[in-house]
Structure formats: C-alpha cells, structure tokens
Structure 1
Amino acid sequence: MTIFTGAGNARRRLLMAGALLATGVAHAQAPAARPIKLVVPFAAGGSTDAIARLVGQKLGEGLGQPVVVENRPGAAGAIASEQVAKAPGDGLTLLLATTSTHSILPVANPKLAYDAVADFAPVGLVARAPNVLVASPKSGAATMKDLVQLAKSKPGALSFASSGNGTITHLVAEAFNAAAGIQAVHIPYKTGVQALADVVSGQVDYQFDSIVWTLPQVRAGKIRGLAVTGIKRSALAPDLPTVAESGLAGFEGVTWFALVAPATTPRDVVARLNGELNKALQSTDVQDKLAAQGAEPAPGTPDDLARVMREDRVRWGKVARDAGVKFE
C-alpha cells in the first residue's frame, strides 16, 4: 500500500488539477468541431443543391468538421441569404451564393433585406456552369433560329419559364430575348425542375436552365435542346451549339456558385475556409463530379469572388432594368 506524505499529497493534488485543467481546455475547444451549416438558397434536387453537397462533404473532410446542408428556398434566394447575413460570424454558417443572390437581386430588388456587399465576407468561387436553351416539341422550334423566327412572327404569344423571378435563369432569358429582338411572357416557378415539367408538357414554350436535368429530357426526345449559353460548347452535350454560334454573337449567360460567410467572420477563418475550398476544388473526384453537373471548378481568392460579384451586378442590373423586372 502506498502512503502519501504531505509532499506527496501536494504533488497528487497538482497532478489532479492539471488533469482537470486539460479537460476544461478540451471542452472549451469542442465548439470548434461543431457542424458547419451550409445554407442553400434553392430547393433540394437541383444543381445548386448538388454542388453544395459535393463541396460541403469535401470541405468538411479538410476542416475535420461535418458540413450540414440546409435548404432554404424562396424569394429567388433572398430568404437564405438574409438568414446567413444575420448569423454570427463564427465560421459555422456559410451560404452557397449564386449569381441570383449576390449579383441580380441586390440591384433589382429595392426591398432586399440584406446588403450583398456589407453583410457578407467573400470566401471563394466554387464553380461556373452554362445554362441550356430548351424548347417544347409542341412549339415547332427545332433550332434557336426557328424559335426566334417563331417569336417574331407572334410577338408576345410565346412564353418562357424560369426557376423564379429575378433568378439567373430568368435574367439569361431576358438578355436572350433582348438580343434576339423578341417578346415573350415570363412564367416563374419555384424550381427549374417544376418549370421543365411544363416545358415538356407544352404549357410553356421554352426556358434556360441547368444542363444536368434538361439533357436527359433532350436525349429522351421530350424536349428539344437548342443551344448552350457558355462561350464554348459543353462537354456533356458537344452536339449542342452555343447561343453565340447560333446567331447572337458574344452572348454568354453563365451561372456561378460561391461560398460566402457573415461579414463579421474573422479574416483568418475566411482564409482557412478559402484554402480548404481550393484544395477541395483541386480534387479529381470533385472535378469529375462537377463536370457531371455541367460545371467547371473556379478556385481563387476572396478578392476574385468580390470582383466577379461586382462585375455581374453591373451586367445583370442593366438587364433587369431594361427588361422592367419587378419584385413584389
């Protein structure tokens, strides 16, 4: 049996105190391992959601923290954006921002409850993806030229769908209509998938949207793929010409996806997130899965993202104003 002397008891108490202190530090550090919430401004099942889940998983692996995706659709992405703008800047809440949330809505909606510049800290671009112009077989248009001629022969009679008023798919269509010199009625939906269903059925004549869920319908003969909006043809559909090739020189309507955090997020936290994001985007696995979504990785710095958002606010703001886009 060991007998503790007074000195031994002192040493024992010191060791126990040290152990308790170490336990306290461990508990204090535990919040850093809490899940990161990645808020997606559109419904589950779309390309934005798919990209968020892909990047979120890889980002979580790099950070050693789980990343949980939360879908908050509505108001063309404004609901989710407002939520993140008001969240604590602790690095535990991020937004998968898009062209719609941070370049279109800020200049087109005067009642927006968040400031796309002042309320957010740019983390980095994730990817860019072209949209695809598709038409209902019932429209009679087999090419983009056919669609333009049809619309010109019946001004205001054709309709086009989008994934919501003020979204990138809406503004790309408005830019297309203006460039082609045609008039058509806008029919907004909550998601691109819902919009596509009505194009397939012939209730709506055409739309611009993600190549991911439009291409299978094109291959199945349910809708007609007319053109892609990138500056080059998509590897997923090399047989589809670009809008520029089809007669509207210089036309481009690309959607970008990016990570942003609340404005109060410390710079070192933003830098860490950016570094892990860029590592994730360099992964062959991520690149292959982005390609399957028709997207290309776009690694860069927070300043690169800030510049893209600023330039697109100018471009799409003009399109929205010229088209008379109204928000309720």
Structure 2
Amino acid sequence: MSRRSVLALGALLSGSGGTAIAYPKRQVMVVVPYAAGGTADIVARLLCEELQKRLAVTFVVENKAGASGTLGCATVAKAVPDGATLLYTAGGPLTIGPHLMKTVPYAVARDFTPLALICQVPSFLVVNANDSAKTLRDLVAHGRSKPNALRFASPGIGTSVHMIGELFRLQAGFEAVHVPYRGGAPAMNDLLSGQVDYMFENVPQLLPQVQAGTLRALAVTSPARMASAPDVPTLTEAGVPGVEVGTWYGLLGPAALPDAIRAELTDAATEIRRNPAFAGRIGEQGAQGDLRSGTEFEAFIREDDRRWRDTIESANIRAE
C-alpha cells in the first residue's frame, strides 16, 4: 500500500471518531415511550437533530406510549443491537416501574446499554396561593401536628413526582394522604380549587401559575436555586435535605451494543451536551444539563433504582 493510501485510510478512520466506519448507514429510530409533545419528546427531537449532524445518519423519533412507558422500553430491549434502534426515556420505566408492577418485559441491567444522561427537570413543591402555609416549615409543621390531615396530589401512582412526594414526606417526618390523578392538569386544577393541599410537579408545568401568583412555590428539588425563580429556596435550604432529585432523561441502546457504536454515540452525546446552544434550547423546556455517560450513567441508574426501591418499600406503595 502506498504512503498516500495509508494516510487516506488513517484520515477515514480518525475523522469524526471513526463514524464513517462504525455507524450503520441507515435510518436510526429513537423510541420515546410517551406521547408526542411532552418534555421527553421535545428534547429527544432536539437531540436527534444534533446526532444527525455529527454522525451523518438520519435519526427519527418514534413515540410508543403505553403501560407507563414500559411498552416503548420493551421495544428497544428486544431490538437487534446494531445501533439502528435506541431509547430516549425518563427514569420512571427503568427505576420505578419495575418495583411497582408485577412484571415488566425487561431487566434493566441485562437488557440495555446506558449511553448518556442528557438532562434533569427539577420540580416545584407548590400550594394554593391562599393556603396558610407561607413557607415549607409551615407545611411540615402542619403535617407533623396532624398526621394524614394533608392531602398531596400527583399525576398518577408511580410517576416520578409521586415518588418525590413520598420521599419528601418520609424525609420531613410526617404522614400524608396521596391523591393520584390521571395527569398533571387535573391534579393542578384540584390544587387551585382547594381540593388537595400540595403537590410536586415539573417546573415547566408549574412556572406560569407560580409567576401569575395563583400557586405558591415553597421549594424546588434542584441542588441550587433556579434563575427563573430565584426567590424559591431549595428543599435543603428550606429545611428538608435528601430530596435533591428531578425527573431525568437519558439515551440508551439495547444490550450488547458494539463497542464502536457505543463509543460513537457516547462521544457525540457528550459533545452535544457541552454545546451552549443545545443547553440553551433544552433550558427553554425547563431542563438542566447533567452529563453522565457510560459507566457513570450506569452507576447513576443503579443509585436511582436503589432510591426508589427503598422509598416504595418505606412508604408501602402499591400500584393500582
């Protein structure tokens, strides 16, 4: 082989991390296990745009909602591990559902290849603007003085914000009655009308009501105060540590994904997440960057699984 040929081959292998060699040159389906229009769907489409630019492969989102997200996750768990089918999901179907449902059609550690944690969305703890609780300490004092007097709403049993609500009351040391709804909108409507006392929900869903003054945010689950709500303290600042968790979203593939493809996806996702323009676009959805990839993402999933397993056991939660 001539020197020119060797150099040309070296450029092909090294350019874009070997993308031209390793990644399948066909359309890649990114399964989102929820309906279109939500945070997961929106951020997945933004991520696909950027992956397509970097890997020169078409990435498309396919929404496969159902069974609390496990339907779409099962599709990826059973897919051929060639990089043509990926999963973009919130943590619920992976670290909450398996502890609540009698059976799920996959085992997370066995059936998936964690690639990259992309972002987390923090939640507000809110009460009605006319509620007597002006601070988190007021709410906790009420809960401790009258066990099970407080009623907290959620979009449904096993949702991430339901779990945050249970973890919060366990950390705060009081009993409360959980009132599940079929979605965040009816839960918020009943909070506004005074039918329930408080709720956790993702910041983007609650921020307009907080800014309008119809709901009062007592705390936020993020590690630091948010620029969009600088007057709202973190739960730790407000006196209840140990609840610095949000709804996380990450990219995974099926198990046994080839090392070359896994490396390309991880490198591309890392590059995308470090791009200020991408961070700004997902920030518009209320998402905060939290980049972890490969083994670090695997460890994050294990810790999240342990947290919600322990919470479910301690709170004696049972799915309907």
Question: What TM-score bracket applies, with the shorter chain setting the length?
Answer: 0.7 to 0.9
- 1:205 and 1:186 map into 2 onto residues whose CA distance is 10
Match of 2:291 in 1: 299
Match of 2:236 in 1: 244
Match of 1:127 in 2: 119
Matched residue SS, 2:125? strand
| Superposition deviation, residue 59 in structure 1 | 1.6
Matched residue SS, 1:253? coil
State the Cα deviation string for residues 270-296 of structure 1 (Å, max 9, x = none).
211111111211222111122223333
State the Cα deviation string for residues 173-230 of structure 1 (Å, max 9, x = none).
0011111222222233444344333333333322212111211111112211110012
| Superposition deviation, residue 259 in structure 1 | 0.5
Match of 1:12 in 2: none
- 1:198 and 1:136 map into 2 onto residues whose CA distance is 10
Matched residue SS, 1:95? strand
CA separation of 1:78/1:190 partners in 2, compared to 1, >3 Å: closer, same or farther? farther
Q: Is the 8 Å Cα contact of residues 38 and 96 (structure 1) preserved in structure 2? A: yes
Of 42, 56, 72, the residue aligned with 1:80 is: 72
Does residue 225 (structure 1) correspond to residue 217 (structure 2)? The answer is yes
| Superposition deviation, residue 172 in structure 1 | 0.7
Matched residue SS, 2:224? coil
- 1:243 and 1:264 map into 2 onto residues whose CA distance is 40
Counterpart residue identity of residue 136, structure 2: M
Unaligned runs of 5+ in 2: 1-20
Does residue 182 (structure 1) correspond to residue 174 (structure 2)? The answer is yes
- 2:55 and 2:168 map into 1 onto residues whose CA distance is 42
Match of 2:280 in 1: 288
Does residue 261 (structure 1) correspond to residue 253 (structure 2)? The answer is yes
Q: Is the 8 Å Cα contact of residues 46 and 193 (structure 1) preserved in structure 2? A: no
State the Cα deviation string for residues 245-276 of structure 1 (Å, max 9, x = none).
11113432233211011114322212111111
CA separation of 1:77/1:187 partners in 2, compared to 1, >3 Å: closer, same or farther? farther
Counterpart residue identity of residue 79, structure 2: A
CA separation of 1:33/1:111 partners in 2, compared to 1, >3 Å: closer, same or farther? same
- 1:43 and 1:70 map into 2 onto residues whose CA distance is 9
CA separation of 1:187/1:46 partners in 2, compared to 1, >3 Å: closer, same or farther? farther
Aligned pairs, number: 299
Match of 2:313 in 1: 321
Matched residue SS, 2:108? coil
Question: % of aligned pairs identical?
Answer: 39
| Superposition deviation, residue 240 in structure 1 | 0.3
Unaligned runs of 5+ in 1: 1-28
Q: Is the 8 Å Cα contact of residues 40 and 89 (structure 2) preserved in structure 1? A: no
Match of 1:65 in 2: 57
CA root-mean-square deviation: 2.3
| Superposition deviation, residue 313 in structure 1 | 1.3
- 1:204 and 1:74 map into 2 onto residues whose CA distance is 28
| Superposition deviation, residue 138 in structure 1 | 5.1
User: TM-score, normalization: structure 2?
Assistant: 0.85
Q: Is the 8 Å Cα contact of residues 144 and 246 (structure 1) preserved in structure 2? A: yes
| Superposition deviation, residue 318 in structure 1 | 0.4
Does residue 168 (structure 1) correspond to residue 160 (structure 2)? The answer is yes
- 1:193 and 1:267 map into 2 onto residues whose CA distance is 43
Q: Is the 8 Å Cα contact of residues 46 and 192 (structure 1) preserved in structure 2? A: no
CA separation of 1:79/1:202 partners in 2, compared to 1, >3 Å: closer, same or farther? farther
> Bigger CA drift: 90-99 or 301-310?
90-99
- 1:198 and 1:90 map into 2 onto residues whose CA distance is 47
CA separation of 1:126/1:162 partners in 2, compared to 1, >3 Å: closer, same or farther? same
- 2:66 and 2:148 map into 1 onto residues whose CA distance is 28
- 2:258 and 2:72 map into 1 onto residues whose CA distance is 21
- 1:74 and 1:320 map into 2 onto residues whose CA distance is 22
CA separation of 1:326/1:165 partners in 2, compared to 1, >3 Å: closer, same or farther? same
- 2:186 and 2:72 map into 1 onto residues whose CA distance is 20
Counterpart residue identity of residue 202, structure 1: G
Counterpart residue identity of residue 313, structure 1: D
- 1:170 and 1:217 map into 2 onto residues whose CA distance is 20
Matched residue SS, 1:117? helix
| Superposition deviation, residue 137 in structure 1 | 3.1
User: TM-score, normalization: structure 1?
Assistant: 0.83
Does residue 157 (structure 1) correspond to residue 169 (structure 2)? The answer is no
CA separation of 1:285/1:195 partners in 2, compared to 1, >3 Å: closer, same or farther? farther
- 1:45 and 1:284 map into 2 onto residues whose CA distance is 23
